[in-house]
Each structure stands twice: as C-alpha cells, then as structure tokens.
Chain A
Amino acid sequence: MAALFIVVLSGLLGENNMTENELALFGSSPAFENILPVGQLYFPSWERYEIAMRGIFERKYYTNQGPLAQQLECRLQDFLGVKHAICVTNGTIGLMMAVEALELTGKVIMPAFTFAASALSLSRAGIEPVFCDVSAETHQIDINKIEPLLDSDVSGVMGVNLWGGICEQVELVKLAREKGLKIYFDSAHAFGCEQGGIKVGNFGDVEVFSFHATKILSATEGGCLCTNDDQLAAKLRNIRSSYGAGEIVDVVKTSNGRMSEAQAAIALMSLDDYSENQQNNYQLFRLYEDRLSQLPGVRLVKPSGVNKSNYQYLVCEIEEQQFGVTRDMLMSILEKENILARRYFYPGIHHYDEYKNLSIRGNVTLPVTDRLCKQCVQLPIGALVSGEAVGKICDIISTSHKYATQIQARVSKSESSLL
C-alpha cells in the first residue's frame, strides 16, 4: 500500500517529460518488456493450486456436480444473497440456458453495445435479437428507446450490466412486467456489484455471470445463473445436466452446462480473494482516474448505478478532435509499447454478417453505439498491472495527446514514403 501511495504522489506531482521521440512507435524500446494484456487474470498461488488439485485427485471426483461445485454454489448464494446459484461451463452457455428455461420465443430486445456473446446466445437458441441503442453517459441500454421496438413477436428483454456498473435494472424490470415480458440480465461484468444493499444477481427473472479468466471471479472458464424463483431454478438445473438436477421437471431440451471440479476449485479460491482483488482494482482505477481525468479528449467511464463496483474494467472514450489522434492510432501507439489495449466492443454486433440484415430491415439506427464502437478503448487493469505500470501507460497516453501534431506528421510522412 505504501508503494502504491508513493506512485500516486509521484504521478500527481511528477511531470511527464516524455516526448514523442521516446515512443516505441518511433523506434525507442517498448515501455514493457512483456506483453501486458487487458483482463483481470487473477489466479491463486502455485501452492494453493497444488493443494486444491491434490484434493480433487484424492477424492477422484472430477465433474458431474461434485463436492466443490456444490460448495461453490452455496458460497455464491451466501455472497450474493440470492436463493439459487447454478454454476455452469461458461457465461455464454448460461445465457443460452436462460433462454431455454424462460421459454423465450420470437424476438428479445437487448442493447447493441455489448459483447457478441449476448446476441450469439439468442441466435443459438433460435431467437432474433432486437438491438436497442444505449446511453451516451453510462453506455447502458437506453430505457427510453425500448418502447418503439416492441411488437407482438417480442417475448423478453435482456438487460446487460456493463463495466462494473449496472443498467437501470429496477426500471427495466418494471417496464418488462408492465408489458408482460420476461426480463433477465447478462451480468458478466457485474459480479460483486451492489446497489442500495442489494447485490447484482437478484434482479429480474434470472441473472447470468461469467467466471472467465478476464473477470474478477475466475474459474478459468465458467459462469453461474442466479435466481430467486424456485421453479426457474429447477428448470435450469434440469437443462444443465442430469447430475445435480434435483427435482425432475419437464424441459424442452437439455444441454451440457456442467462446471467441473477443477473450475469450481479455482472459483472458490477466487471468491476467497474477492475483497483483496476488488481493492487492488479500485486502487488502480483511482490512479488512472487521477492521471486521465484532466486530459482533453479522454473520458474515463465510471461504473454507473452502483455504490459498490468490482472495478474490473478500465474503459475510456477517445474523442479525436480534442485528443488529437484517433482511438485506433492510440491503440497502435500502445501496442508498440507492448500494451495490448482492446477496442471494446468492436465491431458493433449489429454490423455482424448475421445481424446486418436485421438492422437494415428494421431501419435501425444506433448512433450512440456506433460512436462508442469507434471511440472506446479498454486499458489493462488487474493482476498483471502495478501502480507503476499505470503511470507508464498514462505517460504514453498523455504524450500521445501532447505531441499529437508531431505524431500525425511523422506517421503520414512515413506512410507516404512507403507508397
């Protein structure tokens, strides 16, 4: 903590004297020796890994809703204050199972600005996604734009909770109930987030979390479905697999959505570390905020609608006119420094081959989503990122702004010399 404090101080007090000549883009050595990816990538120590795996080998219980998967579900129920937590192979399969259990038909309304999996889960289950634009401020689904999209084929709404924040969950549930629609949430980004003392996981018919390695709670791959509805939980358990199905209820079709004991073991340790990892994210988030909030053309997106966040994402909008270079140019600059920033989400799913025609047919315009797909960049935050690393990343970003004109000139010169 002391070290972090010093970094904060030096970040605030120390001037960034870096010039464009020192950028790896122009031949200097990269800021990072090894590639720095985005994604949380927290993982238990080798010693803990070995002990957990030895336990599995001793029990010889590898999958099929074993003791660790059962324990994980109980722990998650306690942690989230939800009646049922149903662990699954990954978040996408969880979303597909939700479609099955809710018996959705026809079309489902969802935000256009989200990871592809949200839409793909619908298509695989035979449902047509209807894309709704999002709020420029929060990036969450714009609740005012839902009504015009409603028709008799729409059977449900999938809310998505982005960037460690939430969409207007309570209002969305209310709207959906009024219209007689099912309402569920893709909460892949929102594990551990809280509003008014209630944790995400308790809203709508069901919420789906991802425990992918890039998320704050990791099972390497994994996920879980949460619901307070006993009947729905029984259905989901029957759809997942016959193992751990509990009460046998009628379902249309089953899947394989099991979580193995190895995945559950990692998730249990990750859950033990949640507070520590959340704190670490928060400190890093603050460092970024201190350095980037004053930078023209950079808007750091804060978790919306929550009073507790997991801070698992660091996302900025880069506005070209004020910042001086485009988002994509900044990405190239960072990449040369071995910082693998990501365009999240790009391309916008409504431009995918399989959805393009839907958007055209429906005469859909999604101006906010289109702008965000051009402007958003995700920066590293998590296990592999130190306070010092944040300092370096921010130095490079502010240098890119400060010397934007020189950078543009040198880049276009070298491009024209290549022609």
Chain B
Amino acid sequence: MMKIEVEDLAILGGPKLFEIPKSTSNLTQPRFEQFLEYSREFYNQRQYTNQGPLVQLLEKRLADFHQVEFCVTFCSGFWALVLAISSLKIEGRDEIIMPSLTYRRMADIAAWAGLKPHFCEVEKDTLSPSADSVRKCVSEHTSLILGVHPIVNLADIPGLINISEETGIPLLFDSVESTYESSRFGKIGGFGRAECFSLHASKLVNGFEGGYVTTNDKQLSHRLSALRNFGYTGASGYPIAGGMNAKLNEIHAAMALANLDKIHDQVEHNQQIYRAYRELLQSISGLRLVEFNETGQTSYKNILVEITKDWPLPRDDTVKIINSENILARSYYSPPLHRKNIQYEYIPATLELTDFLSERFILLPCGEHVVENDIVKIAGLFDFISKHGSTIYSSLVRASGGK
C-alpha cells in the first residue's frame, strides 16, 4: 500500500509495505529436478562427504568458471578464509592488513588464523583499500595483505598486486561478492596468491552453506585440500600441521552445481532489477545508487545506495523505517571493525573516511525473489521519506517519547 500520510509508515503503526519480508540475500533456487539429478550421483555411490563425486565435479567446474587451475571447496567462506590466510601468511610475523569497512566477522577470521588485524583506510570511490592505504600499514610485522573487493565493483587490483610484489608480502583476495566479475586484466579468481568465495545461500551461487578458494598455485591447493581434511595429504606419512574439518558435503555440492548451471540467467534477472532501481531512484533527491561498472562482466547483484547531504534523516533511522516495512535493508557496514569492542590483539586505528562512509550506505533487497513491482514500492517509499523527512523525524521523536 502506498504511503499517503506519515502515520501510514509501519514504524508509526501503519500497515507494512510488504507482507513477506524482502531480504538482501540472493536465495537463488535451481530447478528441483536438476538438483535431484546431481544428488543421484552421490546417492548411488553412497558417498555423502569426504571429497565425493560432486565436490570433485564442483571444484572442476568452478576452476573452469574462474579460468584458474585449481579450486578447493570448504564448508563455508569463513573457514575458507581462515585456512587460506593460515596457509599463505609469512611465519614469524603477526599482522594482517585488512579494511575496517568490511564483513563484520573479518577480524575474527584473522584471529582464528593467528594474526592481529591492522585496519587500513578505504578509498571513497571504490569503498575498498587502495595501494596507498595499504602501504601506510606495511611494516616488518606484516604477514599478509587481505585485498577485499567491495560488494559493488572491484578493488584496485593492479595497485594491490604492485604493493605485494614490492614488499614481498603475500596478497589474498576476499572476492566473496565478486564471483561473476571481470576486470580489464581478466576474470576474478586468478589474482594474488589466491581468492576466496562463498557458497552461502545469500550469495550468487547458493550451495546452502559453503565456500571455495581459487588459485594457480598447485602446492597451495594441495595444502588447502589437506588442511580442510585434518591435515591428511592422501600420501603416506604424517598429516601436515594446522588441519581441521572444513569439508563441503555432497548435498551442498549438488545445490551449488545446480545453481552454477543457471548463473547466467540469474545475472540477466539481476540486470533487470538493477536497471529498474536505477530508473526509479534517480529522481529521488538525497539518494545515490552505486552504479555497476559495465565495462567488464558483472553480476549486477548487490543494490547499494548512498545517503547524501540532501537526505533528511540519518542513515540508521532510515534503515529502521524501511526495516519496519519488511524491507530487510542493511547498513553497509556498521559499525566498522575498528569501532568494535575487540577482545583479542589488534592494531588500534583512526580511520576518518571509514567512519564517515560507514554512516552513509544502505544495501537494498536483490536477487531472485525481487520483481520489478517490488522495486516500484521500495522506490515509492524512499520518495515518500525524501519528501516528508522533517515530519517523519518529528513524529519519530514524539513516538519515542522525545528521546
């Protein structure tokens, strides 16, 4: 239902704009028959995990997709990152350079890999670390550089590679939101020493839960395959140190394979969604859609908007208002990691730009479950908020008892 009066907002007691919540998760679903067909493979072989037939096939398919030599799958992107960092870090050094404006669990990932986060600044244009911001953090303690791609477009790949080559510090990319992207230097997956991806249901390739690492380094791929399986190398002799269980099971692999089969259709859908958002949001004052760089291949997946100076409400209030309407929009990212109460060792940082940017972005619903009419409703709501900002603000203050 369109909002006419400020009191029509769900946060002030009006009916919700969406009956069923609209999430920012992709939640893509393959044809059920396709999923079953893959499932039959492991079922007939009675192999449910431990590098079964579907995990092997998925790794081959993903390596081909990313145009790299090796792919190693994991039970999640989280543990893929932990084990990749553990494998690549320079021993005897204890800091990892990473942005603060990133995934809320990234510092914990570093801690599980035995490193202290050293947070670097990001660039305003890409929302990701620049070579300069990374260079400022490099010291004799630096063990690894984590190049994190933003959720829309890409980080400065050649800049980050240069500094890695200059300093001899290994570079690992977190490419969790960049599965489909290409830069002018080639397809994402083959840069740095390795790249990490996620197969979580919210991502472009839904495998229930899961993750993977791509690399052209044979030794690294063997090492990662062993580490996810208690350190067992498959050869005789003792297992390698630092292993755990981070194996992907066969049902998750079946799901990922079936979704990988339809990835191009999905991107086509995403493109329509993105175009609709772009058209409908452009006339709303105070709101800027972060546009995809269409010179390379892109997934058009994440819809990110920036609140500019003309927007009448703080970002967090805006998110609360739209969440009340069952639009599960998210702050991108809040709080940034250096502002969190971290209970293990890290390098404290002052990051003014990160602080500023962390109060400006909102991630909006996207993915298979979003249709064009949803976007009409979402854009209508933003337009309404934009036009009635001060009234909404005073009503919210009144509703909360003047606080």
Contact = CB atoms under 8 A, between A and B. Distances in A.
Contacts of B22: none
Nearest to B27: A60
Contacts of B255: 62, 262
* Dominant SS among interface residues on chain B: loop
**Max chain B CB contacts within 10 Å: which of A50, A63, A93, A266?**
A63
A220 B249 contact: yes
Contacts of B323: none
Given A262-B251, A263-B249, A62 B208 contact: yes
A215 to B, nearest CB: 11
Interface in B70-84: 75-79
Contacts of B231: 116, 120, 352
B36 A221 contact: no
B343 A117 contact: no
A252 interface: yes
B48 A63 contact: no
A254 B105 CA distance: 7
Contacts of A352: 231, 238-239, 241
Contacts of B108: 253-255
Interface string A105-141: 0000000000011001101101000000000000000
Given A62-B208, A63-B200, A63-B201, A221 B49 contact: yes
A260 B75 CA distance: 10
Interface stretch (A41-49, A190-198, A322-330, A400-408): A41-49
Contacts of A250: 343
A277 interface: no
A245 to B, nearest CB: 13
B271 to A, nearest CB: 22
Given A120-B230, A220-B49, A256-B105, A126 B114 contact: yes
B251 A263 contact: yes
Interface stretch (A70-78, A84-92, A164-172): A84-92
B247 interface: yes
Count class of interface residues, chain A: 35 or more
Given A221-B247, A260-B208, A262-B252, A62 B27 contact: yes
A62 B243 CA distance: 28
Interface string B223-259: 0000000110000001111111111011110010000
B43 interface: yes
A255 B242 contact: no
A220 B29 contact: no
Interface in B250-270: 250-252, 255
B32 interface: yes
**Max chain B CB contacts within 10 Å: which of A57, A124, A221, A351?**
A221
Interface in A255-275: 255-256, 258, 260-263, 266
**Max chain B CB contacts within 10 Å: which of A50, A64, A117, A255?**
A255
Contacts of A246: none
Contacts of A151: none
A90 B208 contact: no
Interface in B1-56: 27, 29, 32, 35-36, 39-40, 43, 46, 48-50
Contacts of B384: none
A92 B77 CA distance: 17
B112 interface: yes
Contacts of B32: 53-54, 57
B245 A43 contact: no
A260 B46 contact: no
A46 B46 contact: no
Contacts of A90: 75, 245, 247
B181 interface: no
8 contacts: A92-B230, A92-B244, A253-B111, A253-B344, A255-B78, A256-B105, A256-B209, A261-B208
